[in-house]
Structure 1
Amino acid sequence: MIYLCLPILLVLTPGSSNMKLRDVSISGMHLFTALTYLSSTRIFAEATNRPRCKCQPKQSCWPDSHAWSRLNITTNGALLKTVPPGIVCYPGPAYDKEACEKISELSKLHTWISQSPFNVMHAGWNGNPCPPTNGTEANGTCNSLLGDPVYVINVTEPSQVEAGVKFAAKYNVRLIVKNTGHEFLGRSSGAHSLSIWTHNLQSVEFSENFKPESCPQAKPHSAVTVGAGLQWKELVTQAGKHGKLVVTGGNPTVGCIGGFLQGGGHSPISNKYGLAVDQVLEFKLITPAGKYITANECENSDYFWALRGGGGSTFGVVTSATLKTYPTQPMITAVQSFNLTSDKTDIFWEWMAYVHSEIPRLSEAGVMGYSFIFGNANSGQLSWMALLSTVGGDIDKLTELLNPLYANATTSRYENDISWSQNNITFPDYQSFFTAVFQPETVGGTAVLPSRLLDGRALTEDPTLFAATLKKMWSPFVGAYLGHLVGGPGVAQYKNVDMALNPAWRRTYNHFIAASGFDTEDVKDVVVNNARNVLEYNLRKLAPETGQYLNEALYNSEGWQQANWGENYPRLYSFKNEIDPNGVLYCFNCVGSERWVESYNGTLCRASWAS
């Protein structure tokens, strides 16, 4: 539970009309946020009248079969009763060995997960309620209530979302939103819930002269309006047919405008064009009150501000968004590899500190891409691999920019310990680059992703500290260090645009992840504790004044409000309370979620201080 940053708070005791002073433990929340919450007279007035917990099946408050039937009719037969695919692996009438073997293979594929109304990519955060068992009949039962929704609305039009939101509000049922299920913190699933599944909102419309509604003075822009369920692999193909480029994510199965976009959305071409959220011209959404609205700079601008970086499943259910498009460009790419050829691991970490100190220079020159440090923590075998690109230009220019790295590698300090290579390829357009480089991944276990946005100071000021930090964190717990060179000039160019995105992004060069994970519950706590107490702790020391990317961060990260949104959190928190005082939309570590506590069995209740 997160508590407020004051020694004594004025708190309304549940069940009483009198306000009393009560001691409250303090940590982890911005002072202004606390004062904003406590000064809300509406929250005080409603506190004694609102149900303390979301309703659950078998409770008298749970909608009866007639209510669910009416919702099904209202949504034109779109209501689905959850039947976990993994149930075919468990004792009972549904057990089917052959089907279990098939599901066990399919469940590893992002493509299959995105097409499933129920399954998500990292189910370990929700208790992994009904995992497939590779054909072997499981011991125990398939208890899907641990993390799966009870019902799902298979949305194909906005009116169905309206009906679902109003139903959840009326009956005090937990409401969740799933797009593709490609989500690292379990936010697209939840126990005892009704799920809005947006995967089948697949519309695409290109325009050369798009103007946001109610903005007659706006400058027309080449743009594309896409439905909430469209994935990048589909939009890249469609854009390519129009000779266009869109600022995409780096995985083909990620949804274009769901949590990825609303959380910021870094891209392989962010260095030139900005983050995905910088491309938004307009949203269409259903608010927590069940109202279908348009949000842009001229209409519902407060929603437009919040949705650009405030996170998904929080301020409304987005059904479509309009994004800028650009003429497609060639992509010039170099694949680098640096390998430790001796047992001198200190030399390797020293070398990595030097390489990272070069990232700001490269980024300012238009170089972008991804890097990976991997190897065997016990044997000392370590490697760095990077896929670095420029939009346009030529390979000679890119190689010239990279030459200082090779020159340093061949000095007497490193020549006997570091080997290197570079392979080059030029793609004629963005579609061919995206299709060749980014392939659907397989799912294995649950990712644990302590991360940090690294600015120029963190990367260049103290190479000795940088090397020591990488060395200190490296252990068998760490699968790899992932570097996302997705900041720089293109992102910084929007620094004066007012939006909810963490301002630290505007000075970021490298989004750095110390990646680990777990396959089974018995090792979960060990892995997460190491991630929090070693990995995240040291990354914060390396860059204490930046933050993290909220879509790729440690589960229940310390001080996540400040880390995710920086100085924007108080305004976001206030707006969330204004538009959704009853918590119709909730997701883990999302804006306002500290007002709620989720128990081990999925029960979602108001936190004691937020009663």
Structure 2
Amino acid sequence: MPQRVQRALLLSAFAVHAVSASPSPVLAVPSQAWTSLNASVSGRLHIAAPAGLPCFTSYDNAWGLEASTPNAEQCQTVEAGLASSIDIIQTFGSYHNPTFSTCMARGDRCTLSASGPKGIVNSTCFQGTVPDYYVDAREVQDMQMSLEFAQKYMLPVTIKNTGHDYKGRSAGVNTFAIWTHNIAPEPEIDENFTPEGCPGVVGPAVAGSCPTVGPSGGWVAGGGHGIFAPVYGLGVDNAMQIKVVLPNGTFVTANRCQNQDLFFALRGGGGGTFGVVTETTAALHKDQEITYVFLQMSIPEVPRTIDEIFVTNAEKWADEGWGGLYAVSGNVTNSTARFLGFNTKLSVEEARASLKPVTDYLESFPSSKGTLIRQFKTLPSQWAAQNDPVLLSFLLPEAGVSLTRSSRLVPRSNFQGDEARKQLVDFLMSSNFRWSVVLGAPTNYSLPESDKPGGPGEASVTPACVSSALQILEPHSQRCSLALHYCAVLGSCRSSCHQPRSAQQQFSTISTQMDPLRAMTPDGGAYQNEADVYEPDPIGSFWGARTYARLLNIKKQLEPDNLLSCWNCVGWNPEDERHGCYLKVRGVGP
């Protein structure tokens, strides 16, 4: 391995590394050019390192292999924040799903485990997919300077906000990154918001950001579902205006009255592709009381009956405005059923009537067979709903854990008729009794004329987001098998979870398990933010042929060199070097 040669610059503790030759395109850029860029972004250009580096004794990145001095105090701080969403997003080299900061194809990593041994590791920290350089953007000019620099030197660009992503789209081998997380102004409420260039007021709106899922980042870019989407629509439906820095550095505003193609692309076309979003203004809804339900019980029999109840009532619950999730987990001898629901339309008594098929079934077992947890109550506000401890208990354990999932949006037609419902139940029973449903489709939201196909406010999400009653997830991560970070601090793992072949098998299994449901739902699709990493038909599942053709045309007009790209994004090339650490699964990959 070539040794690194360092040339220190007296600029905000920023150092430029130079070597005679390297496969990384960032190293072909003259050092004086980096110095100039650093000055233009007020010293906010940094060499990127994986968050776990303080815990390792050597370091291998684009500049080669060298000794690294570990820091016990910093290592302890990193380890303490492994399971905290808020802590994870504060560091550029840290990712919610740490597998995607590793080089899965080679088994190279620099990740730690919240459940593994602590302290310094006598091993090598690998750069993995963490970009080589990044700009900690704090203002529009930082983004403009960064993108103009990337265009000049033809650098592949990665855009990262919080790093809360299930497919690794905010990381990339040998890339130059723009980190937008620290652009987080206080939300501003405008009771009479008028989008720029529009003739009139559209109503109350709010501009701001969220601590772990950035509404100005991948959430809206992927569609934006949530527990209130069945009534208020997706994030794309509520976006009134988006400000963005284009790949050529131009700063523009997009809404239903101007830059309509860009507005279309930014609302469902996928993140990291069309530019760097700086601000999103969204519709503001009046706060109100929320009907809340949580049911949970172990099922002392094969769970087919509860599967049938869930499938039979899915369309009805969608029409009644339920958001949330329900799930069955376990095995043939010990399964657990859960229902977590939020409803802005039904009273508590109406909610009891709505869910009576479930509660009647769960109450039919003697108390000796299992304890039924049953909560029906009124929450005072949307804030209380979004911060419900049960909801957070489902979400928070994912922080810092490497898992994957496969999913499918299931159209209403698949719930209509005995044979169609039987096919769905058979599928759920074949999935080893572990699955979950997200009630996040905008079933009770009517698109205004302006947002229907062909209108100025049309969004680029798959039509299945609107036509489906729910989203079925199979989170069969087998966490040891896919959680590569579990093995990072162990001298030798008893399992083969650190082996690329094992991870490849797991990804392949998770992907192919969804194939029967894909075949049953030809008019379905996938919510791209929670989709199979190796989705076999990303165009058909995420957008549809007509929408994708329009998106690709917009992409080529904005940036024909495709410097802004990511895995499964519009116009991507699976053989691009930046994707070189993904696995080859189902014929897709490097």
Tell me, yes or no, whether TM beats 0.5.
Answer: yes
Partner of 2:487: none
Q: Which amino acid aligns with 2:126?
A: N
Distance 2:236 2:216 in 1: 9
Deviations 1:435-481 (A, max 9, x none): 23443614354221110001222234423222221121217xxxx42
The yes-or-no answer on 1:469 pairing with 2:427 is: yes
In the superposition, relative to structure 1, how do residues 503 and 78 fare at CA in structure 2: closer, same or farther (>3 Å)? same
The residue correspondences of 1:150-299 to structure 2 (distance < 5 A) are: 150-203=132-185, 204-216=187-199, 218-226=200-208, 230-231=209-210, 253-299=212-258
**Structure 2 equivalent of residue 141 of structure 1:** 124
Name the CA shift for 1:171/1:405 in 2 (closer, same or farther; >3 Å): same
**Matched AA of 1:141:** T
Q: Map 1:90-489 to 2 at 5 A.
A: 90-91=56-57, 92-127=67-102, 129-132=109-112, 134-144=117-127, 146-203=128-185, 204-216=187-199, 218-226=200-208, 230-231=209-210, 253-342=212-301, 345=302, 348-375=303-330, 377=331, 380-407=333-360, 420-437=372-389, 438-439=391-392, 441-442=396-397, 443-461=399-417, 462-474=420-432, 480-489=434-443
Corresponding letter in the other structure for 1:572:
L
Given residue 437 of structure 2, which amino acid in structure 1 is its aligned partner? G
Provide closer, same or farther for how the CA distance between residues 602 and 434 of structure 1 changes in structure 2, counting only shifts above 3 A. Answer: closer
CA deviation after TM superposition for structure 1 residue 190, in Å: 1.2
Give distance in 2, aligned partners of 1:56 and 1:299: 44
Shift of 1:296: 0.8
Instruction: Give 1:93 shift.
Output: 4.1
Residues 247-302 of structure 1: CA distance to partner in whole angstroms, max 9, x if unpaired?
xxxxxx21122101111010111111001110011110011121100111111111
How big is each residue's C-alpha offset from its partner over 1:296-344, in whole Å with a ceiling of 9 and x where there is no partner? 11111110011111111111110001100011011111112243113xx
Amino acid in structure 1 at the alignment position of 2:316: R
Q: Does 1:549 align with 2:549?
A: no
1:492–1:507: 8 Å Cα contact kept in structure 2? no
Q: Does the Cα contact within 8 Å between 2:272 and 2:566 map onto a contact in 1?
A: yes
Residue 84 of structure 1: how far off its partner (Å): 2.7
- Deviation of 1:170 (Å): 1.0
2:41·2:141 contact (CA, 8 Å) conserved in 1? yes
Q: 1:382 to 1:90 in 2, by over 3 A?
A: same
Q: Which runs of 5+ in 1 are unaligned?
A: 1-54, 233-252, 604-611
Which stretch of structure 1 is more off in the superposition, 563-572 or 281-290?
A: 563-572
Q: Give the Cα–Cα distance (whole angstroms) in 2 for the partners of residues 449 and 432 of structure 1.
A: 28
Distance 1:349 1:598, change over 3 A: farther
| Cα distance in 1 for residues equivalent to 2:304 and 2:404 | 23
Count of residues in Structure 1 that have an aligned counterpart in Structure 2: 512
Tell me if 1:76 matches 2:42: yes
AA paired with 1:131? T
Distance in structure 2 (CA, Å) of the matches to 1:269 and 1:254: 16
Contact 2:169 2:567 in 1 (8 A): yes
TM-score (normalizing by structure 1): 0.79
Partner deviation per Cα, 1:576-604 (whole Å, 9 max, x = no partner): 1221110121111011113753377559x
1:519 aligned onto 2:483: yes
Of 594-603 and 462-471, the range deviating more from structure 2: 594-603
Contact preservation (8 Å) 1:341, 1:416: no
> Does the 8 Å CA contact 1:335/1:386 hold for their aligned counterparts?
yes
Partner of 1:558: 536
Question: 2: distance between equivalents of 1:210 and 1:363?
Answer: 31
How far residue 359 of structure 1 moved from its aligned partner, in angstroms, is: 1.4
CA-to-aligned-CA distance 1:161-199 (integer Å, 9 cap, x gap): 011111111111111111111011001111211111111
SS at 1:159 equivalent: helix
Which AA in structure 1 matches 2:125?
Answer: C
What SS class does the counterpart of residue 546 from structure 1 fall into?
coil
Please say which of residues 327-336 and 594-603 is displaced more in the overlay: 594-603
Distance 1:563 1:281, change over 3 A: same
Distance of 1:212 and 1:596 partners within structure 2: 40
The equivalent of 1:25 in structure 2 is none
- The structural deviation recorded for 1:123 is 2.9
CA, structure 1 residues 501+600, in 2 after alignment: closer, same or farther (shift >3 Å)?
A: closer
- Matched residue, 1:67: 33
More off after superposition, 383-392 vs 593-602: 593-602
Unaligned residue ranges in structure 2 (runs of 5+): 1-20, 58-66, 104-108, 485-497, 583-590
Shift, 1:150, TM fit: 1.3
C-alpha distance in structure 2 between counterparts of 1:254 and 1:262, whole Å: 12
**How many angstroms apart in 1 are the aligned matches of 2:233 and 2:580?**
41
* Conservation of the 8 A alpha-carbon contact between 1:56 and 1:192: no
**Is the 2:100–2:171 contact (alpha carbons within 8 Å) kept by the matching residues of 1?**
no
- The alpha-carbon distance between structure 1 residues 419 and 363, as it changes in their structure 2 partners (threshold 3 A), is farther
What is the one-letter code of the residue matched to 2:30? D
Letter in 1 for 2:388: A
Q: Which residue of 2 aligns with 1:538?
A: 516
- Note if contact 1:152-1:197 (Cα within 8 Å) is conserved in structure 2: yes
On the 8 A contact 2:96/2:165 being kept in 1, the answer is: yes
- The answer to whether the 8 A contact 2:26-2:174 is kept is no
- Corresponding letter in the other structure for 1:540: R
Aligned amino acid, residue 254 of structure 2: A
Distance 2:297 2:421 in 1: 18
Q: 1:305 to 1:599 in 2, by over 3 A?
A: closer
Offset of 1:374 from its aligned partner?
1.5
Aligned counterparts of 2:167 and 2:31: Cα–Cα separation in 1 = 32
Paired with 1:474 and 1:602, the residues of 2 have a C-alpha distance of: 30
Contact 2:319 2:444 in 1 (8 A): no
Report the 3-state secondary structure (helix = DSSP H, G, I; strand = E; otherwise coil) of the residue aligned with 2:52. helix
CA shift, 1:200, in A, is: 1.2
Q: Is contact 2:439-2:471 (8 Å) kept?
A: yes
Residues 112-133 of structure 1: CA deviation (Å, up to 9, x unaligned): 1211122112231342531136
Greater displacement, 455-464 / 499-508: 455-464
Q: Which residue of 2 aligns with 1:31?
A: none
Please tell me the residue identity of whatever aligns with 2:542: N
Q: Distance in 1 between matches of 2:579 and 2:322?
A: 45
Q: Secondary structure in 1 aligned to 2:91?
A: coil
How far 1:548 sits from its partner (Å)? 0.3
Distance 1:578 1:565 in 2: 19
Distance in structure 1 (CA, Å) of the matches to 2:75 and 2:561: 41
Deviation at 1:420, TM superposition (A): 4.9
Q: Secondary structure at the match of 2:195?
A: coil
Counterpart in the other structure of 1:583? 562
User: Residue in 2 aligned with 1:490?
Assistant: 444
CA distance in 2, matches of 1:138, 1:89: 6
Conservation of the 8 A alpha-carbon contact between 1:175 and 1:193: yes
Q: Residue 408 of structure 1: CA displacement?
A: 5.4
